[in-house]
Amino acid sequence: MKRLCLLLGLLCPLSYAGNVEVLHWWTSDSETKALNLIKQSLTDQGHQWRDFAVTGGGGDSAMTVLRTRAVSGNPPASAQIKGPEIQEWASLRFLLPLDDLAKAQHWSTIYSPTVLNYLRYQDSFVAVPFNIHRVNMLWLNKAIFDELKLTPPTTWAEFINTAQTIEAAGYIGFAHGLQPWQDTLLFESVAISVLGPDLYRAIFVQHDSTSFQSAKLIAVFEQFRALRGLVDDKAIDRNWDQNTQLLVEKKAAMQVMGNWVKGELSLQQQRPNEDYYCVPAPGTAATFAYNIDTFVFFKKHQQPANQQAQTALAKSISDKALQIKFNQIKGSIPARQDINPALFDTCSQQDIKDFSQLTLLPSLAQGMANTGLTQNAIVDVVSHFFNNPKITPEKAAQQLMVAIIATQ
């Protein structure tokens, strides 16, 4: 067919050389738009993307589906996996090595040491990064803050007072969705502010048994409980992008969420410092809690064309021009460190600067600090506490210690 078209001088539709099934949880409008760039890049190389989207902003549902597929011997060709779970999958010999591509694209130079730590297993590259998200962020509707003559809160006490003032004016002060992963994301920013970087790492990354005895851990749960009264009655199971929409529509004034929020805001022509403010979550200005989105590729007994499609996708993800366009839409910053910050808006420029200068912490809520088993145990304790007033902060701290130790 292709030869016939050329003889006749016609532009023929692409006949796909190979296809790659991709599991991910990017389903919001801005995420879908950003992902379409990757799909198109794969198509331009003569391959086909087979979408396998599993809804859920935290990715827990996607990981459950992935484990089921892998155990049955039928994993997708590629999957969105991040953090320490990458090394777990690699240790089970599921993942394709990407060393040839890493060498050709100079990954050891274009990615920072923090990013590189998550891409390797036993000195072999097994994952390719899309982006870096800052998780400890506070998003504010500028019109409401201007109307009520408010300033961005820098402490949790100020946050509570500000939210109550906004509620009294008839708006939602704090837009939150009562989903376990959202509860844990809020808890994470509280923990960073109360514990500080060293104790945060000791408890949630190193799992140091003596650190669990700190009175500051109880104080984290006390501060976290104080925020529960700010959550409105319609928050049950409200998705993060629906909370962002409340900000856009001037129905809510504040949202604690990662900078993927900016992707939704930008999609609706919202402009930083004109329509909204992007500031660190209260008490966390000196830290950058990061989430690095990465994709891995599974070993499968398949046709050479499909193997070529896997390589083509990995190549696209790490492409410089594509990372620029993707992150401009997604709200994140590029994983590559050789990209001009001037190509991004003021919020992203600040994120790029902060990632290189501030104390970096792996996000607890976004799977960067622990493997899935430990993270799920933490999420269960945190969310159950947030939604059950009968559990005391002391009891929650004890439950957290038991949950973490039991999953080691």
Residue in the structure block whose two tokens are 């809520």? 365
Q: Mean of the pLDDT values across residues 35-54? A: 95
Task: Identify the band that residue 267 occupies on the pLDDT scale cut at 50, 70 and 90.
Answer: very high
* Average pLDDT across the chain, whole number: 94
Q: What is the pLDDT of residues 322-343, one digit of tens each?
A: 999 999 999 999 999 999 999 9
Q: Do residues 182 and 176 make contact, with C-beta atoms less than 8 angstroms apart?
A: yes
Q: What is the pLDDT of residues 82-130, one digit of tens each?
A: 999 999 999 999 999 999 999 999 999 999 999 999 999 999 999 999 9
For the chain, first and last CA: distance in Å? 58
Looking at residue 57, its pLDDT comes to 66
Instruction: State yes or no: pLDDT of 11 exceeds 70.
Output: no
pLDDT greater at residue 14 or residue 138: 138
Quick one: what percent of the chain has pLDDT higher than 70? 95
> Which tokens in the block code for residue 265?
């805001």
Looking at residue 300, its pLDDT comes to 80
Q: What is the pLDDT of residues 235-256, one digit of tens each?
A: 999 999 999 999 999 999 999 9
Q: Rounded CA gap, 317 and 326, in Å?
A: 9
Q: If DSSP codes are grouped into helix, strand and coil, which group holds residue 101? A: helix
Q: At what angle do helices 304-317 and 320-330 cross, to 10 degrees?
A: 70
The DSSP code for 178 is: B
Task: Identify the band that residue 301 occupies on the pLDDT scale cut at 50, 70 and 90.
Answer: low
Closest to 50 (Cα-Cα) out of 84, 16, 73, 83: 16
Instruction: State yes or no: pLDDT of 6 exceeds 60.
Output: no
Spell out a b/e string for 195-215, using b for 16 or more CB atoms within 10 Å of the CB, else e: bbbebbbbbbeebeeebbebe
Instruction: State yes or no: pLDDT of 55 exceeds 90.
Output: no
Q: Mean of the pLDDT values across residues 194-202? A: 98
Q: What is the pLDDT of residues 24-36, one digit of tens each?
A: 999 999 999 999 9
Task: Identify the band that residue 59 occupies on the pLDDT scale cut at 50, 70 and 90.
Answer: confident
Give CATH 3.40.190.10 domain extents, the chain. Answer: 16-134+291-359, 137-289+362-406
Instruction: State yes or no: pLDDT of 76 exceeds 60.
Output: yes
> Which tokens in the block code for residue 25?
């949880």
Question: Regarding beta strands 18-24 and 78-80, do their DSSP bridges make them parallel or antiparallel, or are they unpaired?
Answer: parallel
Q: Mean of the pLDDT values across residues 50-78? A: 89
Looking at residue 18, its pLDDT comes to 93
CATH 3.40.190.10 for domain 16-134+291-359, yes or no, is: yes
Q: Rounded CA gap, 107 and 340, in Å?
A: 17
Instruction: Report the top-level CATH class of 137-289+362-406.
Output: alpha beta
Q: What is the pLDDT of residues 134-174, one digit of tens each?
A: 999 999 999 999 999 999 999 999 999 999 999 999 999 99
> Which tokens in the block code for residue 379?
């999420």
